[in-house]
Structure 1
Amino acid sequence: MLSFILKWVLSAVAVLIAAYILPGVTVETFWAALWVAVILALFNAILRPILVILTIPVTILTLGLFLLVINAVIVLLTDSLIGNFYVSGFWWALLFSLVVSLLGAIFDNIAEKAN
């Protein structure tokens, strides 16, 4: 349980850092960042596999680059659900997803070594 809470908080911190770095993304409160982390996790667990399967031909034609589009769409969907989270457009959503993924990998590595 503690590991789950730690991952959740670290994901929220990654969201806050990404919003701080990127001028096209705004997160107004830490609570909003926690909600963004939850919604992104749910969308990545439920919606992303469906979208990946439905877009296999396009993904193959683009040599996997279309998966970045799917990530950006998931961020934009999260933006539409969370009131205190704003993304200025597709390219900011794409950059946000890349930064959050990179920070998440770094934080997971640090948390793994701490245990």
Structure 2
Amino acid sequence: MKVFFKILLTALAVVVLASILPGVYVTGYGSAVLVAIVIALLNMFVRPLLVFFTLPATIVTLGLFLFVINAIIILLADSLVDGFAVNGFLAAFFFSILLSVFRSFLFSLLKEKTN
């Protein structure tokens, strides 16, 4: 059930960011949910491979290259989902950073409080 809420919260973040950022477009809520699912799958399967193969660049840049990997994931999601468009690398870069911030904030709302 928590995964379902995370997908919906990510879709909400995608819709909000698409309305704020120039160069990022989403056609509707269905496309936003599909984008959230595709990003989750890409983060699960493709991101570890990208991190592994770019490990020297990540080490040299002290981890800053991970932002580039996040932007590549967004560009891959753009090519896979029809109702989602990102105009260029820079828009994907800013979208990925803001999406990470929004997701961190929204996912913190889902955490259960322990005594």
Q: What is the TM-score of this pair, normalised by structure 1?
A: 0.94
2:105 corresponding residue in structure 1? 106
2:68 corresponding residue in structure 1? 69
Distance 1:66 1:111, change over 3 A: same
Indicate whether 1:4 and 2:3 are aligned. yes
Shift of residue 5 of structure 1?
1.6
1:23-69 CA distance string (max 9 Å, x none): 11000110000000000000001100111010111111111111111
Distance 1:106 1:23, change over 3 A: same
Shift of residue 4 of structure 1?
2.0
Indicate whether 1:41 and 2:40 are aligned. yes
Structure 1 gap segments, 5+ residues each: none
Q: What is the TM-score of this pair, normalised by structure 2?
A: 0.94
Cα distance in 2 for residues equivalent to 1:87 and 1:109? 27
Letter in 2 for 1:100: L
Q: How many residues align?
A: 114
Letter in 2 for 1:26: Y
Structure 2 gap segments, 5+ residues each: none
2:87 corresponding residue in structure 1? 88
State the Cα RMSD in Å. 1.4
Equivalent runs, 1:47-58 vs 2, <5 Å? 47-58=46-57
Cα distance in 1 for residues equivalent to 2:96 and 2:113? 25
Identity of aligned residues (%): 44
Shift of residue 113 of structure 1?
5.0
Structure 1 runs of 4+ aligned residues shifted over 2 Å read none
Cα distance in 2 for residues equivalent to 1:4 and 1:59? 29
